C-alpha cells in the first residue's frame, strides 16, 4: 500500500528547474592492464535515482562506473572507470549542480602502483600495497558553492551508527543507510530497504523495488533541499 | 577472404560424439562481502568457442565466471565465481570430457583471507596479502584419464616465448597465444588475433571476429585431438 501510494504520489515538477548530479555503479582500480579491484555494485540504485530525478523534472547528470544497464533517456551521461576519474568529473561539473547524490560504490583503496605490463605470477604470495582513494562526496560537500549533498552508507553491521558518523564527518546534508548484509536487498538485487537520515530525523522506508525507493528518496531530497 | 573461407568450411560433425568442456570469463576473488579482485575478461572468446563446439556437434559444457553474455543454446551451463569454485567444477566433470579448453581468465592470486564483514577503511594504506590460486588447466592436464587439453596465454609481451613455456610447464597439448597489449583485440573486443601452438608447429590466424577465430580453433583441435 505504501509503495503504491509512493508511486501514485510521484509526479513531475518536484525538482523542476533543479540540476541534479548522481554517481552510480562501482569503480575499478587497475593493478595492471588486465587486473583490477572492484565491488559488487550493479548501479541499479543510482540509475533508478537518475530515472526518478528526470521524472521529477530535474536536469540530470549521471557519472557512472562500469555497469551493464541502459543509459537513462535524457540523462547527461559521463562514463568513468576509476575513483580518480569519477572525482575529476564530479569536481569539473559541481558548479553546475544544485543537488549531488553520491550513490556510486567508490573503491576505498586502489593499488599504489599500476603496472604497465601484466604482473607475472612468479611467487606463491604477493603483497599488494593499497592506498586510500580520494573521498568524492567529501570533496563535493566542501566545494564553493556547495550543492545539497546526499551520501549513501552501505554497511554490514551497526548501520545507523556508521551512517550518522559518516554524515557528520563528511559534511553531508542527508545520508541513505543501506544494510548490505541482507542478501535479498542491496547491491545486486532489484529491491532495497533503506533509512533516510537527515538532520535529527530518521525515516525508514519499507522494502520495495529500487524504482519506488528512488522516488521516495527524490521526494525526501526535494522536501529537504528546498528549505 | 580467409575469414569467409573459414566460415564457409565450418560444418557440423567435426566433433560429433565428442564431449568438450570450456571455461570462460573472469573469476572474482572476494576480499570481503562486497569487494573483489577480477580482470577485464568479457567471456566473448570462451562463449564463441562453446558456440563453435556445439555447431561442430560436440556435447559442450561451459564453466563460466560472471559475464553478461547470453548462455549458448544446448550448452551444459555451470556458473561459478572464484577460481576455487571453477577448479572444483572442472575436476568433478573432467572424467566426462574428451577435450578441455581453458579459456577463462582465472585470477592468478586471491586474498589470503576473506573478511566476513566489510573491511573498514581506517588507514591511509593497506597491505593486502595475496596467495596463488590453484592452476586449473594444469590440474585438468594431470587428471587420469586426461582430456586433450588446450590452454590460452594472454600476454602483453614476449608472447610466443611465454606461450611455449606455459604449454610445456603445464603439460598442455595445445596453446592459443593472445597478445592483449593491442587494444583492438582481446579481452573486451569483438575481434581477436591469435597464434595456435601445437607441438612444434605455430599457426598464426589473421585478425577476425571471435566467432571466426573460435571456429578455426575448434577445427585445429578436431584435427589434432583425433590422432
Instruction: Tell me the three state secondary structure of residue A221.
Output: helix
Measured distance CA(B26)–CA(B44) in Å, rounded = 11
Is the pLDDT assigned to residue A4 strictly greater than 70? no
Residue scoring higher pLDDT (A6 or B210): B210
Question: Nearest CB to A33: which of B34, B129, B180?
Answer: B180
CB contact under 8 A, B33 and A180: yes
Chain B partners within 8 Å of A36 (Cβ): 37-40
Query: Residue A196 pairs with which residues in a beta bridge?
Result: A176, A203
**pLDDT band with cut points at 50, 70 and 90 for residue A185:** low
Q: What pLDDT sits at residue A10? A: 57
* A188 touching B (Cβ < 8 Å): no
**pLDDT band with cut points at 50, 70 and 90 for residue A186:** low
pLDDT in tens, A159-176: 899 999 999 999 999 999
DSSP symbols for chain B: -HHHHHHHH--TTTTTT-EEEEEESB--EESSSSEEEEE---SHHHHHHHHHHHHTT-EEEEEE-S--SPPPTT-EEEE--SHHHHHHHHHHHGGG-SEEEE-SB--SEEESS--SSPPP--SSEEEEEEEEPP-HHHHHHTSSSPPEEEEEEEESSSHHHHHHHHHHHHT-SEEEEEETTSTTSSTTSSEE-EEEEETTEEEEPPSEEHHHHHHHHHHHHHHHHT-
Q: What pLDDT sits at residue B185? A: 66
Q: Are A208 and A6 in contact (CB under 8 A)?
A: yes
* B112 touching A (Cβ < 8 Å): yes
| Angle of CA points B219, B224, B227, to nearest 5° | 130
**pLDDT band with cut points at 50, 70 and 90 for residue A5:** very low
The per-residue pLDDT string of chain B (227 residues; one tens digit each, 9 = 90 and over) reads 344 445 555 556 899 999 999 999 999 999 988 899 999 999 999 999 999 999 999 999 999 999 999 999 999 999 999 999 999 999 999 999 999 999 999 999 999 988 777 666 678 888 899 999 999 999 999 999 999 999 999 877 888 999 999 999 999 999 999 887 776 666 667 888 999 999 889 999 999 999 999 999 999 999 999 74
Rg of the Cα atoms in chain B: 18
CATH number of B2-114+126-225: 3.40.50.10300
Q: What pLDDT sits at residue A146? A: 94
Give mean pLDDT, residues A12-16.
87
ipTM, 2 decimals? 0.84
CB contact under 8 A, B132 and A125: yes
- Best interface-test mutation with A: which of B29, B31, B39 has the largest number of A CBs within 10 A? B39
Is the pLDDT assigned to residue A2 strictly greater than 90? no
Instruction: Tell me the three state secondary structure of residue A74.
Output: coil
- CATH H-level superfamily of A2-108+129-225: CoaB-like (3.40.50.10300)
Is the pLDDT assigned to residue A195 strictly greater than 80? yes
Residue B39 annotated in active site: yes
Query: What does DSSP assign to residue A105?
Result: B
Chain A partners within 8 Å of B127 (Cβ): 127-130
- Give the B window 32-51 contacts with A, CB below 8 Å: 33-41
Residue scoring higher pLDDT (A51 or B115): A51
pLDDT in tens, A197-210: 998 899 999 999 99
Measured distance CA(A23)–CA(B198) in Å, rounded = 48
Q: What pLDDT sits at residue A116? A: 75
Chain mean pLDDT for chain A? 90
Question: Nearest CB to A37: which of B37, B105, B127?
Answer: B37
Q: What pLDDT sits at residue A126? A: 87
Q: What pLDDT sits at residue B11? A: 59
Q: What pLDDT sits at residue B4? A: 43
- Give the A window 56-75 contacts with B, CB below 8 Å: 68
Residue B5: partners with Cβ closer than 8 Å, 6 or more residues away: none
- Best interface-test mutation with B: which of A43, A45, A116, A118 has the largest number of B CBs within 10 A? A118
**Smallest Cα distance from B183 to chain A, Å:** 10
Measured distance CA(B40)–CA(B25) in Å, rounded = 9
Q: What pLDDT sits at residue A59? A: 97
Chain B partners within 8 Å of A126 (Cβ): 109, 129-131
Amino acid at each position: 500500500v505504501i509503495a503504491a501510494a509512493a508511486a501514485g504520489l510521484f509526479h513531475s515538477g518536484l525538482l523542476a528547474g533543479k540540476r541534479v548530479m548522481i554517481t552510480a555503479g562501482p569503480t575499478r582500480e587497475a593493478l595492471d592492464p588486465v587486473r583490477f579491484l572492484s565491488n559488487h555494485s550493479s548501479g541499479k540504485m543510482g540509475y533508478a535515482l537518475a530515472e526518478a530525478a528526470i521524472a521529477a523534472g530535474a536536469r540530470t547528470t549521471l557519472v557512472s562506473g562500469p555497469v551493464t544497464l541502459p543509459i537513462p533517456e535524457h540523462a547527461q551521461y559521463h562514463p568513468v572507470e576509476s575513483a580518480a576519474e569519477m572525482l575529476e568529473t564530479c569536481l569539473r561539473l559541481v558548479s553546475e549542480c544544485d543537488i549531488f547524490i553520491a550513490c556510486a560504490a567508490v573503491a576505498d583503496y586502489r593499488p599504489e602502483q599500476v603496472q604497465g605490463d601484466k604482473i607475472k605470477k612468479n611467487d606463491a604470495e604477493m603483497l599488494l600495497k593499497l592506498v586510500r582513494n580520494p573521498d568524492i562526496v567529501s570533496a563535493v560537500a566542501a566545494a564553493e558553492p556547495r550543492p545539497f549533498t546526499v551520501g549513501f552508507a552501505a554497511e554490514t553491521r551497526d548501520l545507523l551508527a556508521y551512517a550518522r558518523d559518516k554524515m557528520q564527518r563528511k559534511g553531508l546534508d542527508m545520508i541513505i543507510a543501506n544494510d548490505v548484509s541482507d542478501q535479498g536487498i542491496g547491491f545486486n538485487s532489484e529491491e532495497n530497504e533503506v533509512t533516510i537520515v537527515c538532520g535529527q530525523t530518521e525515516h525508514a522506508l519499507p522494502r520495495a523495488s529500487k524504482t519506488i525507493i528512488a522516488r521516495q528518496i527524490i521526494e525526501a531530497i526535494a522536501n529537504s533541499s528546498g528549505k
